[in-house]
Amino acid sequence: MLLSTSSDIPGKKIVKHYGLVKGNTIRARHVGRDIVAGLRGIVGGEISDYTKMMAESREQALDRLVEEAEDLGANAVVCIRITTSMVMSGASEILVYGTAVKVE
C-alpha cells in the first residue's frame, strides 16, 4: 500500500478513486503514567511514556486506514491527514483519513 500526504504519487498515475477512508483509535491516560508525567512537568523534559503511547496510536489508526482501503480494492491512499482531539478528560482520539485510489 502506497501512502502519501500529497494529492498524487510521483511516477504513478491514479486510474480509479474509491473515496474517503479513515482509521481511528481512542486512548486514555494511565494513572501511574500521570504521576511520572507530573514529576516530569516540574523538572522539564520529554514524557516518553506518552510519546510512545501516541506513536502507537498513530500506527494503529494508520493500520485501520490501510485495512479499509484494501477492503475497497485500493493500492494507495493520497491526501492523508492526521488529527487529534480530546473526547473526554484524559482520553484523546487519533483520526487518520485520506482518499483511497488505484494507481498504476
The CA-CA-CA angle for residues 5, 10, 12, to 5°, reads 110
Q: What are 40-73's pLDDT values in tens digits? A: 566 667 777 788 888 999 999 999 999 999 999 9
Residue ranges of domains in the chain, CATH in brackets:
2-103 (3.30.110.70)
- Whether the model clears a pTM of 0.95, i.e. scores above it, the answer is no
Of 26, 14, 11, 31, which is closest to residue 98 (Cα–Cα)?
A: 14
Contact, 101 vs 17, CB < 8 A?
A: yes
